[in-house]
Amino acid sequence: MAPKNAAFVIAVDGPAASGKGTVASRLAKLYGYPMLDTGLLYRAVGMRLLNADGDLDDAIAAEAAARGLELAELEMPEVRTRQAGEAASRVAVHPGVRAALFDLQRDFALREPGSVIDGRDIGTVIAPEAPAKLFVTASPEVRADRRWKQLVGQGEAVTFDEILADIRKRDERDGGRASAPMTQAPDAVLLDTSEMTIEQAFDAARRIVETARARWGNPKG
Ligand code: C5P
């Protein structure tokens, strides 16, 4: 049971374009907690390599890129592109990259009074003791539709079918990884947003967190 003075970490995991980023940022705003989108870390590592003509499959080069990462790089618009998403999922398979990014994420998770962290392995690897864990998901078609609209809105020329293929490939790569398989933590609450509006998803997430917070504040209750 979490000691009373520990940080109230809200771990929001789930696959690409499941709505977890939107849910996480709304929760962070609601509670006034800092938020870390860990996908941006992997995206920035991927872009570092690509910008240096590096090989995404080269584990040593990828780890070096991760170790040299500066937080300002997360702000660059290029990390939000489709190319960065693809590069991220390729560098994320290297255990050295995950190890290099661990401390930064772990330090963020220990911040008091609390934080919101979104990713794939927050509830399982980065902050397994997090008192509030959500696993946000949606069908591949719904996720592809959301990601496609987002990318078109950013000015990228892509088709829905291309994005659906990306999502399926990404799920396969993210789910089949031994170092950090994208699995729901046993104590995470599943939130399927396929049939939900943003408002409904946020409302459901808020209720899950409120239940976890009440339990955290009253461990014996
Ligand atoms: O969530 P986002 O689409 O930005 O993540 C990009 C990629 O980064 C994911 O497909 C996944 O391969 C990787 N990732 C990860 N662990 C995290 C966050 C992202 O492996 N905690």
Residue 152 maps to a domain = yes
Give the whole-angstrom CA distance, residue 158 versus residue 156: 6
In angstroms, what is the span from residue 178 Cα to ligand 1's centroid? 15
Q: Name the residue with the closest Cα to ligand 1, atom 13.
A: 89
Give the pLDDT confidence score for residue 35 in this predicted structure. 97
Residue 27 maps to a domain = yes
Into how many domains does the chain fold? 1
What is the span of the domain harbouring residue 73? Answer: 8-217
In angstroms, what is the span from residue 220 Cα to ligand 1's centroid? 36
For residues 166-183, average pLDDT = 75
> Relative to the CA of 40, which ligand 1 atom is closest?
4
pTM for this prediction: 0.93
List the helix and strand counts (H, then E) for the chain: 8, 5
Residue 198 maps to a domain = yes
Tell me the HSE value of 106 on the side-chain side, using a 13 A CA sphere.
Answer: 10
For residues 8-26, average pLDDT = 95
Q: Is the pLDDT of residue 2 over 60?
A: no
Residue 2 maps to a domain = no
Supply the mean pLDDT for the chain.
92
For residues 191-211, average pLDDT = 96
205: domain CATH number? 3.40.50.300
